[in-house]
Amino acid sequence: MHPNTEGILESSLYVTDLARSVSFYKKIFGFEVIGDFGERGCAMKAGKRHVLLLFKKGGSLNIVSPHDGDGELHLAFAIGADELTRWGAWLAENGITVEETQAWKLGGHSLYFRDPDRHLLEVATPGVWTIY
């Protein structure tokens, strides 16, 4: 039998302008920096037990590190059902376009939008998956 995990601890995004991305995630999500890797990147508290790592694209190439990536990635953030309308208004207030809204078969709802590096972000209410 396989050993257990307790879920995903870290997720990484690779960005072109670290300061711009940190500012975006602080302002839009309220995330705080909990680890500073200098020009290479940082760690942000993205929930009770989740860390969002922001790495400068190509910032790890001069050191021995497996951290680098490219392309537009996707992350979804859990929100309460009563927060969906507030999120829509908050994004509009901050000039962020909601690219898609989705009503899921299990009763959940999602809003999709982009960060400054065009990573596709989602805020999702319970009822998106059988486990959430």
Contact 112, 10 (CB under 8 A): no
Place of tokens 């829509």: 88
Q: Could you say which of 65, 80, 110 is where a domain stops? A: 65
User: pLDDT tier at 70 (50, 70, 90 boundaries)?
Assistant: confident
Mark whether 59 and 84 lie in a shared domain.
Answer: no
CA distances to 4, 5, 7, 71 from 1, in Å? 9, 13, 18, 36
Residues 2 and 28 in one domain: yes
pLDDT at 53: 96
Rounded distance between C-alpha atoms, residue 105 and residue 121, angstroms: 20
Residues 5, 39, single domain; the answer is yes
Mean pLDDT within 106-130? 98
CATH number at residue 20: 3.10.180.10
pLDDT value at residue 85: 98
* pLDDT above 60 (res 61): no
Q: How confident is the model at residue 67 (pLDDT cuts 50, 70, 90)?
A: low
In a shared domain, residues 43 and 86:
no
Asked if 100 and 78 sit in the same domain, the reply is yes
Same-domain pairing of 88 and 34:
no
Range of the domain at 78: 71-132
Look up tokens 């995903």; give the residue: 8
What is the average pLDDT score of the chain? 93
Read off the pLDDT of residues 36-51 as tens digits, 9 standing for 90 and up: 999 899 999 999 999 9
Distance CA 110, CA 24 (A): 20
